[in-house]
Amino acid sequence: MQFHFNREKILIIDFGSQVTKLIARRIREFGVYSEIITPEKLQNLKDFNKIKGIILSGGPSTVTKYKFQTVPKKLFSKKIPILGICYGFQLIAKLHGGKIKATKKRREFGRAAISEKRKSPLTKNFFQSKKNVWMSHEDAVIKLPKNFKIVASTKDSRLTIIENRKKNIYGVQFHPEVTHTDNGNQIFKNFIFSICKIKKNWNVSSQKNKIIQDIKNIVKKERVICALSGGVDSSVVALLINKAIKKKLICIMVDTGLMRKNEFKHTFKIFKNKYKLNVRLINASKFFLKKLKNIENPEKKRKIIGGLFVNIFEKESKKIKNVKFLAQGTLYPDIIESRSSTGSKTSKIKSHHNVGGLPKKMNLKLLEPLKEFFKDEVRVLGKSLGLTKKILNRHPFPGPGLGIRIIGNIEKEKIKILQEVDHIYINELIKFNLYGKIWQAYAALLPIKTVGVMGDSRTYEYTCLLRAVTSEDGMTADYFSFPKDFLDKISNKIVNNVKGVNRVVYDITSKPPSTIELE
């Protein structure tokens, strides 16, 4: 199969937890290949040969109802070690005769102190001086299933870790995959290496040649187009395909005019001159500005920008003859169908747009060489392809760009002001050695003018907002704590250098309840 890695693996059954992807990431970070599948897909899985261990994830379901998400009971007799996490743990207990109760009294959210009750191969070197685990559950296992033993307890959950060592089945009520659990990685290390006895078999950069060969085999003599944004994903896709088919890859960069100062043209030059890509730059800033005139609603802006991007890309690609493939930077997290496994509909917060979301009606075959990889793995691939550090370590930048960072009405003058502010902000972060410590930083322009005083004169100008967050995957985020001297410096420098701004504010909300972008 294309871009598929047929090797020994740890299989993760996804019951819809928000953090299932982290389990797979942790395991791959230890050099072991892991894959996520839904319980539905598990039903049809015939070949368990390469599966050396199974992890049942957490999820919103409850085994206390008549109908609940489950796995075939025969999974437990395949002699493959199994670890259940949170819901996965409750499911193991339920299927082995334990008792689970939905009780408000026993629910635990947040950190809980854990204490060891007996030694277990799962918890070797786990109980160090700090012993907090991260809990997020309402149901609790209140009766131990037959042939299981208690390994650890918290104040509110007597059954926090259980084991059936003979059958190699283990369950933990907490989430070892989140960083709030002290030493949580040790649980995975013990499970995969000591219990599953799987050998290290995953090294991202060594996959590079296989991917390039796969691309050659799939594309043969045809041509491929690719929307290049200069972000890490599309850049790595372009470099990989370029290595495989050279000039038969045509990259299109659509300049929306909503990019950071100088960034797009600079990126274009790098790809054209340094990497010798066949790349076309389309300046469409006037169209974007025209269509966005007087549009204040964030969702409308997103739809207009996304739609226009697709139209322009389609128009340009029609000018190129004999194209058979459209390359996209789809990543592994994009294709994990955890939502469909729970059947739950999540509320739509924002309509995301990125160059990966191009229309299917283009009648081109999709080429998605990164679809088995996580973002941090893509960075490793990029590094081994010689991608410049500047692009490799660039903070995420949303498809709609500055369009969703100019709050309210978008005007040419506002774009210029924001580009200047953002440019100063990012450069100062680099100078202060802070850029690499922050997951994402940017400046936004607020639609309010306030009074200030400069020299002896009154000013009445815009307010800009600075945002900087730490995060693991953008799903949750904490605001970054700047040293005071940086805040002093940055506010001075912005107000003194950017005409049109007389006030700087720093956003100190986390996600949730805020989001990272303002619109």
Q: Of these residues, 96, 137, 175, 353, which one is catalytic?
A: 175
Name the minimum Å distance from CB 7 to ligand XMP.
Answer: 31
Active site residue 177: yes
Name the minimum Å distance from CB 517 to ligand XMP.
Answer: 3
Binding footprint of ligand XMP on the chain (CB under 6 A): 350, 352-354, 396, 398-400, 440, 474, 511, 515-517
Residue closer to ligand XMP (CB basis): 114 or 392: 392
Active site residue 175: yes
Q: Of these residues, 35, 108, 163, 177, which one is catalytic?
A: 177
Whole-number Å distance between alpha carbons of 338 and 360: 22
Point out which residues pair with 307 in neighbouring strands.
none
Annotate 126-171 with DSSP letters as a single string.
T--S--EEEEEESEEEEEPPTT-EEEEEESS-S-SEEEETTTTEEE
Residue closer to ligand XMP (CB basis): 184 or 401: 401
Residue closer to ligand XMP (CB basis): 163 or 519: 519
The Cα-based distances of 338 to 12, 131, 477 in angstroms read 11, 30, 21
Name the minimum Å distance from CB 227 to ligand XMP.
Answer: 12
Residue closer to ligand XMP (CB basis): 8 or 255: 255
Active site residue 86: yes
Point out which residues pair with 471 in neighbouring strands.
477
Q: Closest CB to ligand XMP belongs to which residue? A: 354
Annotate 336-395 with DSSP letters as a single string.
--HHHHHTPPPPP------TT---GGG--EEE-TTTT--HHHHHHHHHHTT--HHHHTPP
Name the minimum Å distance from CB 418 to ligand XMP.
Answer: 15
Helix, strand, coil percent values for the chain (each to nearest 5): 35, 25, 40
- Identify the CA nearest to 329 among candidates 241, 452, 250, 448: 241
Residue closer to ligand XMP (CB basis): 21 or 353: 353
**Residue 208 contacts residue 180 (beta carbons within 8 Å):** no
CA angle 192, 177, 87 (to 5 degrees): 95
Name the minimum Å distance from CB 396 to ligand XMP.
Answer: 4
Residues with catalytic function: 86, 175, 177
